[in-house]
């Protein structure tokens, strides 16, 4: 199962083949075994109010969203050994660095998450 993530407010795409971390094991592993993310890739972590980049091999853009898929907080270019939290978030999207800027995503934007068979 893959995920297409669009910013409906701005009419842009954040990812077109994101993975889904919706089990305890998948959330715990996250992107730790990855060496990078290509444009179009990402990871939706649900449920999730916070992420860390300890032991990560690369920086990421982080988008926090609530249950209605509205952006509550953004954290562009989160380098290794950092924490990011949003107590108002229900889930988190991890993306390649630059995707927040490229998609012009900001707090308050409405996102659409569409699952499809990859």
- pLDDT tens, residue by residue, 29-83: 999 989 999 999 999 999 999 999 999 999 999 999 999 999 999 999 999 999 9
Question: Per-residue pLDDT for 96 more than 80?
Answer: yes
CA angle, corner 87, sides to 83 and 90, nearest 5? 100
Question: Per-residue pLDDT for 118 more than 80?
Answer: no
How long a stretch of residues is the chain? Answer: 118
Q: What integer is the mean pLDDT of 7-29?
A: 96
Domain that includes residue 59, residue range? 2-116
How far apart CA 91 and CA 72 sit, in angstroms, is: 10
- The total domain count for the chain is 1
- Could you tell me the pTM of the whole model? 0.96
């Amino acid at each position: 199962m893959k995920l297409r993530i669009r910013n409906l407010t701005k009419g842009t795409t954040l990812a077109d083949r994101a993975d889904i971390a919706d089990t305890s094991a998948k959330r715990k592993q996250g992107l730790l075994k990855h060496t990078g993310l290509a444009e179009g890739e990402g990871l939706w972590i649900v449920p999730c109010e916070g992420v860390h980049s300890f032991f990560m091999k690369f920086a990421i853009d982080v988008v926090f969203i609530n249950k209605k898929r509205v952006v509550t907080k953004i954290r562009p270019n989160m380098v290794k050994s950092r924490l990011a939290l949003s107590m108002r978030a229900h889930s988190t999207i991890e993306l390649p660095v630059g995707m927040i800027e490229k998609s012009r995503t900001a707090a308050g934007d409405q996102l659409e998450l569409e699952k499809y068979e990859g």
